[in-house]
Chain A
Amino acid sequence: MIGWIDTVIQGVLLGGLYALFAVGLSLIFGIMRLVNLAHGDLIVLAAFVILVISRALGLNIFVALVLAAPILFGIGYALQHFLLNRTLGRDILPPLLVTFGLSIIVQNGLLEAFSADSRRLDADALETASIALGGGLAVGVMPLMTLVSAVAVIFALNYLFYRLPLGRAFRATSDDPEIAQLMGVDNRRIFALAMGLAMVVTAIAALYLGTRATFDPSIGPARLLYAFEAVIIGGLGSLWGTLAGGVIIGLAQTIGAHINPEWQILAGHVAFLVVLVLRPRGLFPRAVD
């Protein structure tokens, strides 16, 4: 029994990581209808940026994250401004092709720069710290912080979307980019800001990715897949739905692994397919599309 409760708790916490992977993807798709196939690789890129900063300056990874965030914001802004904005239009194929190419470029660039060795982000004492819940149950501090961070990120983004002028511009542009321009909104700048913001979320995801397990330049596409599944389970356009989607995949994986360790990854994908069959538009679809 304890084993099962532990499995569920671990699954929910793991869901926080998948939600963090997915939020950046969801943000970009929601605002500019851009499916970013390089998202997983950008998460890995962010992990390397944090790694380099923390190694070079001898900093704690959380401090390194604070320094990495503006750099990644800049990378995201520039990427959108100089490259991805040129691909947006009525045809959805160009952004798919360009981000697919970008994925290959990022992977190979990282391979060239850092080799195929597995890396880790070192969270020092926090890595092994845990909180006892009584009854022989305990939760790790890092997994707990992952979920808390995911919730905090979603709270912050929802505040931005529904309370601040920039967020309203995001939503207006998402609704109708041409009309938004007639309201004085510079879409391309809005898109660049959104991509910068998504990269900051990506950096947070990368920190927890890098402390939870090892990473190397090749693992991006699998993270993209989890992120996609979480977004689609949740329903496009709802960040809380994305969190729910992440938690469902996390739960399915840990429960699958509890039954048979070989079933972990498979169980996550099966859960995704089940939701797709039962609720094709996801659990929390947008009211108006």
Chain B
Amino acid sequence: MLLYGPHMLDAPGGRSDFRVMLEIRQLSKSFGSLRAVDNVDLVVERRAALGIVGPNGAGKSTLFNLITGDLRPDAGTVRLDHRDITAATPYERSRAGIARTYQVPQPFENLTVFENLLVGAVYAQGRREHEITDFCAEILERTHLMRRADSPAGSLTLLERKRLELARALATGPKLLLLDEIAGGLTEGECQELIETIRLIHAAGTTIVWIEHIVHALLAVVGRLIVLDFGRMIAQGEPQVVMRSAEVREIYMGIEA
């Protein structure tokens, strides 16, 4: 009990591997002759916030699909919290603590906003409904969706859909939250609000991996940045430093300085 209690997780002198949330080793996935993810190694520490940038088609979303189990890798391993989940199904990974938002929000359109959250809260957390009602309501408050709680998700505006995408991922009670271009298509004000929400989620202890083209939003949250291109990791490190590096400038020339 004492050895493996939660206090160990943050203890400075604790075993170092307790600090790792996600560990990807030599992960590869090809579609035909296209190497979408090519021998990627990646370690994300517990409570870290990691940003991923790269041009379209660099393999960012494929990497997420490999982490959530939507796709099976050709080679390599994925470990969550030191458990090898490479062979686990998407629902097992969800129950293990992985949640993800899609670039194009995909709510359950025939369910109400609140019901969208209940599904994940009940099934991913394995909790009874009455135990998680307040939890879901709190998420709705935090994501400014309370007003629409009983609306069918199909009737939401784009901004509300983006919020629901995030809210629904949070309802699964994730240890690791994967955000896929969640800031795209938002106005500057909406984007600031979103950044605040994500900061709060991060501050509450959730490990975050965020793919984003809106670089200033990303840099406002993440402590480390990696760059993918042609399925390979071509740079990583301190966000500001990585963004100024020659590799990134070359990729982003003409897109975003």
**A residues apposed to B, CB below 8 Å:** 165, 168-169, 171-172, 174-176, 178-187, 286-288
Contact = CB atoms under 8 A, between A and B. Distances in A.
B99 A172 contact: no
Contacts of B168: 183
A186 B91 contact: yes
Interface residues of B, number: 30
B154 interface: yes
A220 B184 CA distance: 54
B114 to A, nearest CB: 10
Contact of A184 (B100, B111, B124): B124
B192 interface: no
A184 B171 CA distance: 11
A288 B90 CA distance: 26
Interface string B99-111: 1100000101111
Contacts of B129: 165
Interface of B: 68-70, 89-91, 94-95, 99-100, 106, 108-111, 115-116, 118-120, 122-126, 129, 152, 154, 168, 172
Given A168-B115, A175-B108, A175-B111, A181 B94 contact: yes
A184 B94 contact: yes
Contact of A288 (B69, B126, B154): B154
A22 to B, nearest CB: 20
Task: Tell me the dominant secondary structure on chain A's binding face.
Answer: helix
A179 to B, nearest CB: 5
A165 to B, nearest CB: 5
B119 A183 contact: yes
B91 A181 contact: yes
A174 to B, nearest CB: 7
Contact of A182 (B94, B109, B125): B94
A287 B154 CA distance: 9
A29 to B, nearest CB: 15
Given A168-B122, A184-B95, 17 more contacts: A165-B118, A169-B122, A171-B115, A175-B109, A176-B106, A176-B108, A179-B108, A181-B69, A181-B91, A183-B120, A183-B123, A184-B94, A185-B91, A186-B91, A286-B110, A287-B152, A287-B154
A132 to B, nearest CB: 45
Contacts of A172: 108, 111, 115-116, 119
A183 B132 CA distance: 14
Nearest to A166: B122
